[in-house]
Amino acid sequence: MSFDPGLASGMGVLSAVVDSGSFAKAADRLDITPSGVSRAISRLEKRLGIRLFDRTTRSVQLTDEGRLFYQEVAPLLAGLEDAANSAADSALTVRGRLRVNIDPYFSRLVLG
């Protein structure tokens, strides 16, 4: 099975909906429209072949299958975020040898 970027994106949207508790709040968090969130969740549900949420006009709740899927996916998403943060942090860290060239007379006066 090859990597499906749409599946990874859908899992990010799923996490945002679960964490925020609604499609509208998840849309604000992800800076997309609520209909975009709904379409992403629908595509993920179609790809997985299960319903992830029970939707009403007033609430959104995970189904049993959705809860099981989220429990398995959440640690993986957290690991990916940690790996990305670690890579970004290492890019900002200064590494290597520092060489300083100083005039011998100056070094005896100042460093001595």
Task: Indicate the pTM of the whole model.
Answer: 0.72
For residue 31, give its domain range: 5-76
Q: Between the CA of residue 42 and those of 3, 48, 89, 93, what are the distances in Å?
A: 19, 10, 35, 41
Instruction: Point out which residues pair with 54 in neighbouring strands.
Output: 61
Question: pLDDT tens digit string along 46-84?
Answer: 999 999 999 888 888 999 999 999 999 999 989 988 888
Amino acid 109 reads L
Instruction: Please indicate, yes or no, if residue 96 is contained in any of the structural domains.
Output: no
Tell me what pLDDT residue 66 has.
93
Domain of 46: which CATH number?
1.10.10.10
- Please check the confidence at residue 6 and state whether its pLDDT lies above 60: yes
Tell me what pLDDT residue 43 has.
93
Instruction: Please indicate, yes or no, if residue 89 is contained in any of the structural domains.
Output: no
